[in-house]
Structure 1
Amino acid sequence: MGDEGVMSASADAADAGRPAGAAQAAGAAQAAGAAEATGPAGQYAPHPYIGGRTAALRALAAWRMRWPGAPRVVVVTGSPGSGRSRLLAGFLMLCDPEYRKRLPLDDLDPATVPPDLPAPAVPDPRGRTSAQVLWLLADHLGLAATRTEDIFTELAAREEPVTVVVPDVDLAGPVRPANEPARLIRDVLTPLAATTTVRLLADVPRELAAELAAAAPGGQVQVIDLDEPEWADPEGLVLHAETALTPEAGAPDLPYTTDPDARRALAEALARRAGGSRLTVHLAVRSLFALPAPGDVDPADASHLPATVGEVLDLHARRLGAEPLTLRQMLAPLAFAEGDGLPVELWHPLASAVAGHDMGPAIAEGMLLAAPFIEPVEQAEPAETAETADTDGATGDGSGNGSGGRTLLRLAHPVLAAEVRSGLADARDAQTRIAMALLQAVPQQNWSLADPYVRDYLAAHTLDAGLLPQLLTDPGLFAHADPVTLRAAVEAVPLDQLGAPAHTYLRTAPLLTRSGAPAEMRAALLETAFVEDGLQPYADALHGLGFDLPWRTLWSLPLAGVVSVAPAFLLPQGEGEGGEGGGEATGGSRPVAALVVPAGTPGARPLPDSDTALLLHDLFRPGHLDADATRMRRPSEDEQAASPYGLSRGADYLRVWARESGEVVTALLSDTPFRDADLSPQGVLLVATERGVTARQITVPAPAPVPEPAPERRQAPLPAPSPEAGPEVVPTIPAQATGTAPAADAASQDRPQGVEGDHS
């Protein structure tokens, strides 16, 4: 992970939370020349982006300058919509060595301007898990730690303190219902606050602020609650409203925008009525400008001015002659939307699902009704979707748009989304209706054809509706869904509510997220994991979903302490005994896997002068073989050379390559360390890890196959074991998970998406 998610106090920090027209508003604030409430009139210009908050900026500048007595940890909190994100964004503008050159520093209060120091580390938590945020910070700082706990130890050992700013904690996490902000506080910010070499500034929701503040030793933490009188800044809120009403900020020419006195009176009334909420003021102004005939607004008439975000919605609907419930039903799908927003083509069906009737006419005729509260987002086509696009230009995202992108819709602020959800009669029922509608939108119950939003975020919607465990029986969903979002959703479910397939997914998910593998490789890794866990029907189902999997897992043996694995041939009884096991492979020779295991392993024969033993296992099917080592021989060099595949191994990976071309045909990562690996002439990959041994039949055709080996080198199909041909299979010691022989079950190609039927 690189530094792409670490903002060095740059303008990106501000732009992330900047509402439409903020650039013009910044210039308008300077042009307005409004006086600060904390100093003599006209003495200092307001911060061009914040437009106030002098007391808070002075406290943050003191923290940045490390003044004597200044706190080491600062927690900025406040009610939703109070302007926490805007405050930190404006402060980070002052901390960025390049961006601050664009600010009128000489006009600002000197006590609010921090010194020109190297930019702090600013790991962006938006959409990321707590682990991702922590490793993002570690990578940015160049730490050598390889374990989470070592990161804090290494930070504590630094001679020079490190400055870290974490904005937008409330937006952490790939999916909203998983409550990642609480985990980020517990697992990342609290340990950082307790590390004396870390100077920490964080923007935290009020319900989590006390927990973080308690982590730092006494006297080293300061809580800036923007709702408290010390930090509230009512005059700054008036300036914010007045600036938003100026034509220089993009306001239309209206009596209360062009006339300075009328503008000031309305700004004061809006700020007074909003009770300190910058978001309420911002949305109220957008609502006024969206009216077809704004007309006059009487600042003295409280019925014209909203006090809360909810009142903004209801007042706006009534001004347009609509029912407030209609507006909230229109916005409900966007209030529950995950990620960057909801695809525009899903808005109508999901709104209809929530309302219980067709919302198409309301949406088509009600854009003025919804416009002040909605923002479009242009999304680039996901790389995986682009790779699987049809030759006729279809993107596979369900939109039918082959241009390489599409439009998403989101609400203007997370607090607005929370207000819409809380205003519904039954939020869980609404989420259930949305989840069912998304499920019905999967074409032919085929996840490869599903809209990317449905594929990646259905788990989040079902989690919020309390239905996720029922969904986690579909191997197609496991393979196709974004592993970061699906893992976050599954981890939020209590373990005792998860079935066996979900447990397998959960233990495999770290490998899926770490590798960044595409859907086909995710399916291959899951196929092996299902065999390892004894869930053969789920492994078979993955082979029936249209994937070109690079292997088929033949069997898995849960066995600890394996020393080595190797392919071999077991000669018929009477051949090789008492000798060195030489001789040609004949039709009676049996391909086996030779496993060197700890002495005392059930079913294994001790090796002379060693504390290890030899366990022989059939190469192609489950079962142990009770035979003497003298009847075993390794493949000859000629037999190995005749194989179309070769094997190379690194510290944490295996690669299978075509011998003639040298091209890698598949690669393998493991969530546990490799102990040994080998490849048989028949293309069976034997892998030993801390978990045990697996055998995978490589199914990827070699790009340039070698000529057929000489007839005497070829192995005939294995006959059923007989007393003359070899020992009987002993399948019970130790217990093992079983796979399917190389000849695939033809019926598996027609299996439905779900192992236990249609779960989509």
Structure 2
Amino acid sequence: MGDEEAMSASDERNAAAAGYAPHPYIGGRTAALRALAAWRMRWPGAPRVIVLTGNPGSGRSRLVTGFLMMCDPDYRKRLPLDDLDPATVPPDLPAPAVPSPTGRTAAQVLWLLADHFDLSADRTEDIFTELAAREEPVTIVVPDVDQAGPVRAAHEPARLVRDVLKPLAATETVQLLADVPRELAAELAEALPRGQVRIIDLDAPEWADPKGLVRHADTALNPEFGAPQLPYTTDPSGRRALAEAMAQRADGSRLTLQLAVQSVLMQPDGFDPADASLLPGSVGEALDLHARRLGADPQTLRLMLAPLAFAEGEGLPVQLWGALANAVAGRDLSQDIADGMLLAAPFIEPVGASQDEDGDDDDGDSGDANEDGADVPGDGRTLLRLMHPGIAEEIRSGLPDVRDAQTKLAMALLEAVPQQDWSQADPYIRDHLAAHTLEAGLLPQLLTDPGLFAHADPVTLRAAIEAVPLEQLGAPARTYLRTAPLLTRSQAPADLRAAFLESAFVEDGLAPYAEALHTLGFALPWRTLWSVPLTGVRAVTTGSLPLEGADGAAADATEGGESPAPAPGGTAATRPVAALVVPAGTPGSRPAPGPDGEAPENGGPALLLHDLLAPGYLDADPSQVLRPSQEAQAAAPFGLTRGADYLRVWARTSQKMVAALLSDSPITGADLSPDGVLVVATERGVTARQIIAAVPAATPTVPAQRAGTADADASHGLEGDHS
């Protein structure tokens, strides 16, 4: 027995000899709690970083939750702290930061910390810099790292360790406790000097808690705590003997023990407490023994549960369960599922039940300590999930071909979309089909549907696409990936996501995909007319250009622009244009006229003219551009307001917003023509959008005037926002 193992055993004996009560939620783990309390107190010699690890179902989440109960200034008042071993009780300090990684990306976890500590960082790397500069150390607890990420197959736990936890651990002002899977524990700890980090492996002998495991089983079997009245539950000695036998067979796994207890209590028929062969020694044995005791085929039970083992997000809608089980099994399991709820009951739970990580019901008080528990979906659907990720891991590992199973699930989900109309798809299919196709190796083939791009949850879809090597992605998927930060940042609804994507497709030369979005029933606020990747644009304005210039020559179109026909009635026809203020020397540009039409100065800004309604630059004299008068602008149906990276278009008659644009780069210029063409310049280029919201009744207009007159409100006669 090593020193730590001997110390752990001594801790348990001393606590029992002193008559200390066990933690009411944890039921043991004295050695681990003492180590955590010393870490929280910052005792001399205590490590600054603790890495908590163990096998799935070892009780890591339960230990962290119970410890955090004592770290919360309000919750600890509800605990019998005076009855506990004083060495396991942390001091009464402000609660640590506890960013939950469940379902979140590494970046989201990091920004949770930035918000918690009220940091001013604009970049993720600045968060670590600000934390390192703090005068007082900060305490951070990161539980359930294995549950990180919106897409299971995207390996977000590894990214969280690499991009967040390792930099936090290396920051001297950070006191860190992280609950991580065993395969990532060494990576997190290896970069730190000896003495600054300690790994607590709950399955290692020095941290094992066999007496606590027996106590856990004894409590679960006790009718005073909800167990049924049975010969081996009502008799204290018989109950204790069964608890000891179950704990010994479980070999330290709280999950195996919990499944064994639930199986016996839900279906006691055929169970003999004296028969040790009926007690499971692993999660897999718990599944198989339960099926055999009920006269069922263990493989049928595993196939029934397979869709839940692959479920993403909060859980699987119950109405999809049967079809997906049939797909994985390759046969009809409908009757098995209908008749087999008792068979599956010990292993599943409806979403919304307050459960601890071992799958047993909380005592009612502990729910306050876990604010990130899943909730019942707002649409009233019933979702199901397996009671513990360890069950899912066991079922997946027992399948002959995981990729083939995911392929069958993905195809079944795709077939369940009515007429391939994503607006009618079940929200689970819409948001999580990409995750299933990712593990099946089929995601790149799926990423050609603009309707899916707009309807799917951008957080999950982005995470799935980012897990695919860039060289395997087609052009539409790359456009989505470029636009995804804007979609997630804006939290826009589907219609606005479709609008952002419509513009992005035009910007990337994918006009058919942009046009497709106009045929899918979205209420798009605009139609993108053209886009040019022109950098350095300082300002934009809209106007019109006479077909006959001052020198009698018609304005020539370049790059595909078409000259408009003469206006009826013999009046001179004009071409709507956008004038772009660009640096001198920009190809195709001409020097900008002065404010009063005088000759341009050498080295001054230049103007580049572009057709307003169609792709194509124009070769024309900028001084001939006609600007709408202020009266015409005031009579226009829409108005424009602008911020550093956003624009809003509103109807003048109702003062209601009809379009909102958020940019992924700073806006350098914007203008809105009287007929509703919005031209926006950013650091990436210039894009024109026709506002297609309902237009109020037409209002009289006044004749246009030439640029550069006294009514021009910009320094070059052709720039400025007009709201």
TM-score w.r.t. length of structure 2: 0.88
Q: Match for 1:420 among 369, 378, 395?
A: 395
- In the TM superposition, what are the counterparts of 1:467-506 in structure 2 within 5 Å? 467-506=442-481
- In the TM superposition, what are the counterparts of 1:192-207 in structure 2 within 5 Å? 192-207=168-183
Aligned residue in 2 for 1:306:
280
Aligned residue in 1 for 2:708:
none
Q: 1:603 to 1:403 in 2, by over 3 A?
A: closer
CA contact (8 A) 2:584 2:591 kept: yes
Q: Which moved more, 1:325-334 or 1:265-274?
A: 265-274
How far has the Cα of 1:296 moved from its partner?
3.0
How far has the Cα of 1:239 moved from its partner?
1.1
How far has the Cα of 1:452 moved from its partner?
0.2
Q: Could you tell me which amino acid in structure 1 is paired with residue 125 of structure 2?
A: E
Q: Distance in 2 between matches of 1:638 and 1:436?
A: 59
Aligned residue in 1 for 2:667:
674
1:568 aligns with 2:543: yes
Q: Distance in 2 between matches of 1:653 and 1:710?
A: 29
CA contact (8 A) 1:431 1:464 kept: yes
CA contact (8 A) 2:503 2:528 kept: yes
CA contact (8 A) 1:152 1:191 kept: yes
Q: Distance in 2 between matches of 1:42 and 1:315?
A: 40
Q: Could you tell me which amino acid in structure 2 is paired with residue 564 of structure 1?
A: A
**Aligned with 2:206: secondary structure?**
coil
Q: 1:251 to 1:294 in 2, by over 3 A?
A: farther
Aligned residue in 1 for 2:118:
142
Q: 1:549 to 1:67 in 2, by over 3 A?
A: same
Q: Distance in 1 between matches of 2:471 and 2:437?
A: 17
Q: Could you tell me which amino acid in structure 2 is paired with residue 708 of structure 1?
A: T
Q: Distance in 2 between matches of 1:181 and 1:467?
A: 23
Q: Match for 1:460 among 425, 435, 438?
A: 435
Q: Which moved more, 1:211-220 or 1:71-80?
A: 211-220
Aligned residue in 2 for 1:621:
614
How far has the Cα of 1:472 moved from its partner?
0.3
CA contact (8 A) 1:38 1:54 kept: no
CA contact (8 A) 1:660 1:706 kept: no
Partner deviation per Cα, 1:195-244 (whole Å, 9 max, x = no partner): 00000001010000011112333321111011111101111111111111
Q: Match for 1:594 among 571, 579, 599?
A: 579
**Aligned with 1:56: secondary structure?**
helix
**Aligned with 1:74: secondary structure?**
strand
Q: Distance in 2 between matches of 1:92 and 1:696?
A: 53
1:57 aligns with 2:42: no
Q: 1:403 to 1:68 in 2, by over 3 A?
A: closer
CA contact (8 A) 1:37 1:235 kept: no
CA contact (8 A) 1:288 1:294 kept: no
1:433 aligns with 2:408: yes
CA contact (8 A) 1:442 1:451 kept: yes
Aligned residue in 2 for 1:541:
516
1:76 aligns with 2:52: yes
**Aligned with 1:458: secondary structure?**
helix
Q: Distance in 2 between matches of 1:686 and 1:281?
A: 65
Q: Match for 1:337 among 308, 311, 314?
A: 311
Q: Distance in 1 between matches of 2:512 and 2:378?
A: 39
Q: Could you tell me which amino acid in structure 2 is paired with residue 532 of structure 1?
A: E
Q: Distance in 2 between matches of 1:447 and 1:375?
A: 28
- In the TM superposition, what are the counterparts of 1:624-663 in structure 2 within 5 Å? 624-663=617-656
CA contact (8 A) 1:121 1:140 kept: yes
Q: Could you tell me which amino acid in structure 1 is paired with residue 175 of structure 2?
A: R
Partner deviation per Cα, 1:288-331 (whole Å, 9 max, x = no partner): 11215254321xx3311111000000000000111100000000
Aligned residue in 2 for 1:293:
269
- In the TM superposition, what are the counterparts of 1:7-406 in structure 2 within 5 Å? 36-41=12-17, 43-291=19-267, 293=269, 295-298=271-274, 301-378=275-352, 404-406=379-381
Q: Distance in 1 between matches of 2:171 and 2:551?
A: 67
C-alpha RMSD of matched pairs (Å): 2.0
Q: 1:707 to 1:470 in 2, by over 3 A?
A: closer
How far has the Cα of 1:606 moved from its partner?
3.0
Q: Which moved more, 1:584-593 or 1:43-52?
A: 584-593
Q: Could you tell me which amino acid in structure 2 is paired with residue 244 of structure 1?
A: A
CA contact (8 A) 1:523 1:549 kept: yes
Partner deviation per Cα, 1:342-380 (whole Å, 9 max, x = no partner): 00000000000011111110001111110000101259x
How far has the Cα of 1:597 moved from its partner?
1.1
Aligned residue in 1 for 2:689:
696
Q: Distance in 2 between matches of 1:402 and 1:73?
A: 37
How far has the Cα of 1:710 moved from its partner?
4.4
1:686 aligns with 2:679: yes
**Aligned with 1:622: secondary structure?**
coil
Q: Distance in 2 between matches of 1:506 and 1:97?
A: 43
1:555 aligns with 2:530: yes
Q: Distance in 2 between matches of 1:586 and 1:565?
A: 27
Q: Which moved more, 1:234-243 or 1:367-376?
A: 234-243
How far has the Cα of 1:638 moved from its partner?
1.9
1:709 aligns with 2:700: yes
Q: Distance in 2 between matches of 1:538 and 1:693?
A: 19
CA contact (8 A) 2:629 2:702 kept: no
Q: Distance in 1 between matches of 2:644 and 2:589?
A: 28
Partner deviation per Cα, 1:699-734 (whole Å, 9 max, x = no partner): 0114xx2543248679xxxxxxxxxxxxxxxxxxxx
Q: Could you tell me which amino acid in structure 2 is paired with residue 421 of structure 1?
A: R
How far has the Cα of 1:650 moved from its partner?
1.2
Q: 1:250 to 1:402 in 2, by over 3 A?
A: closer
Q: Distance in 1 between matches of 2:631 and 2:209?
A: 83
**Identity of matched residues, %:** 74
Q: Distance in 1 between matches of 2:703 and 2:416?
A: 57
- In the TM superposition, what are the counterparts of 1:737-752 in structure 2 within 5 Å? none
Q: 1:611 to 1:37 in 2, by over 3 A?
A: farther
Gaps of 5+ in 2: 1-10, 354-375, 554-566, 593-599, 706-723
Aligned residue in 2 for 1:31:
none
**Aligned with 1:630: secondary structure?**
helix
Q: Distance in 2 between matches of 1:402 and 1:150?
A: 36
How far has the Cα of 1:628 moved from its partner?
1.1
Q: Could you tell me which amino acid in structure 1 is paired with residue 585 of structure 2?
A: G
**Aligned with 1:139: secondary structure?**
helix
Q: Distance in 1 between matches of 2:629 and 2:29?
A: 79
Partner deviation per Cα, 1:262-302 (whole Å, 9 max, x = no partner): 1111111111111110100001101111215254321xx33
Aligned residue in 2 for 1:442:
417
Q: Could you tell me which amino acid in structure 1 is paired with residue 311 of structure 2?
A: A
Q: Which moved more, 1:99-108 or 1:447-456?
A: 99-108
**Aligned with 2:98: secondary structure?**
coil
Partner deviation per Cα, 1:576-606 (whole Å, 9 max, x = no partner): 889xxxxx99541211000111222221123
Q: Distance in 1 between matches of 2:282 and 2:162?
A: 31
How far has the Cα of 1:441 moved from its partner?
0.4
Gaps of 5+ in 1: 1-34, 380-400, 579-583, 715-760
How far has the Cα of 1:259 moved from its partner?
0.9
Q: 1:625 to 1:271 in 2, by over 3 A?
A: same
CA contact (8 A) 1:82 1:276 kept: yes
